[in-house]
């Protein structure tokens, strides 16, 4: 299994329009603080699956030399996680999309003209795609009613993607998340800032310890962190284009 972080930014990305903070200046200079919006490419030996479809999807595909994928999984219905789906238009028709009914039905209001092929998934019930096993689990991201994280398995290898969440993840999900080889955790801001619907970096690292993650990478990062080359000395910040071979 191979995972590529196509975008590690929050909803506005870095650099933020009109901002001259240190991280945004580093991003403007082409440093690793430059972050497109959230999306992850998951590859098995026989298929490629996108986790969420970033508003920056066209740019991400061009940067990774991608021309097609085999499926999409949506975690929730916020625009920075689905609105790039239109970039498939006239390139790849009738894309297979997977998600819980609440997520698919909401996003369908905006992308129905693209005629995706929807596959409804039940929470906590594993399903197979291209040699990998996926499970959607409930997390906490108010005001979304049923936001989801994702567990991916291939043999003895386990990856957990939290999706957008606060620290208040239901216990049933925590149990399913335990002992991953890799935790990809939402951590939108540094420790001294608290946002009700997201984890900060301290909370994300505490989650990694709680579920006994062997390795953790932080994503969905805002411009409020110090420039990447400084902050990454202290925290396992992800960056656009980062690859994990598992």
How far is the C-alpha of 5 from the C-alpha of 196, rounded, in Å?
25
Which range marks the domain in which residue 77 is found?
Answer: 2-245
Report the CATH number at residue 80: 3.60.15.10
Give me the DSSP letters along the chain.
-EEEEEE-B-SS-BSPTT--SHHHHHHHTT-TT-BPBPEEEEE-SS-EEEES--TTHHHHHHHHT----SEEE-----HHHHGGGGGGTTTS-S-EEEE-HHHHHHHHHHHGGG--EEEE--TT--EEETTEEEEEEE---TT-SS-EEEEEEETTEEEEE--S--S---HHHHHHH-S-SEEEEE--B-TT---TTS-BHHHHHHHHHHTT-S-EEEESB-TTSPPHHHHTTTS-B--TT-EEE-
β-pairing, 216-219 vs 182-186, is parallel
pLDDT at residue 93 in the model = 84
Contact 155, 84 (CB under 8 A): no
pLDDT at 89: 83
pTM of the model: 0.96
Q: What is the pLDDT of residue 91?
A: 83
Q: Which residues, given as ranges, of the chain have pLDDT below 50?
A: none
* Contact criterion met (CB below 8 Å) for 69 and 114: no
Total domains in the fold of the chain: 1
């Amino acid at each position: 299994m191979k995972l590529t972080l196509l975008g590690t930014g929050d909803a506005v990305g870095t650099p933020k329009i009109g901002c001259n903070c240190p991280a945004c200046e580093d991003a403007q200079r082409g440093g690793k603080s430059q972050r497109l919006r959230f999306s992850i490419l998951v590859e098995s030996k026989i298929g490629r699956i996108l986790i969420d479809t970033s508003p920056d999807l066209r740019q991400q595909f061009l940067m990774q030399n991608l021309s097609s994928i085999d499926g999409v999984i949506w975690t929730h219905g916020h625009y920075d996680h689905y609105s790039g789906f239109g970039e498939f238009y006239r390139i790849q028709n009738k894309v297979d999309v997977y998600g819980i009914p609440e997520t698919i039905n909401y996003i369908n209001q905006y992308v129905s003209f693209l005629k995706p092929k929807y596959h409804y998934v039940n929470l906590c019930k594993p399903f197979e795609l291209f040699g990998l096993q996926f499970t959607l689990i409930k997390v906490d991201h108010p005001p979304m009613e049923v936001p989801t994280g994702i567990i991916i398995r291939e043999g003895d290898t386990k990856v957990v993607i939290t999706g957008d969440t606060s620290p208040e993840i239901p216990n049933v999900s925590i149990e399913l998340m335990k002992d991953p080889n890799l935790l990809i955790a939402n951590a939108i801001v540094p420790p001294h800032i608290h946002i009700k619907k997201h984890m900060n970096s301290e909370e994300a690292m505490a989650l990694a310890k709680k579920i006994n993650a062997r390795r953790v990478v932080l994503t969905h990062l805002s411009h409020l962190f110090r420039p990447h080359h400084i902050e990454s000395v202290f925290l396992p910040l992800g960056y656009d284009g980062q690859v994990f071979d598992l």
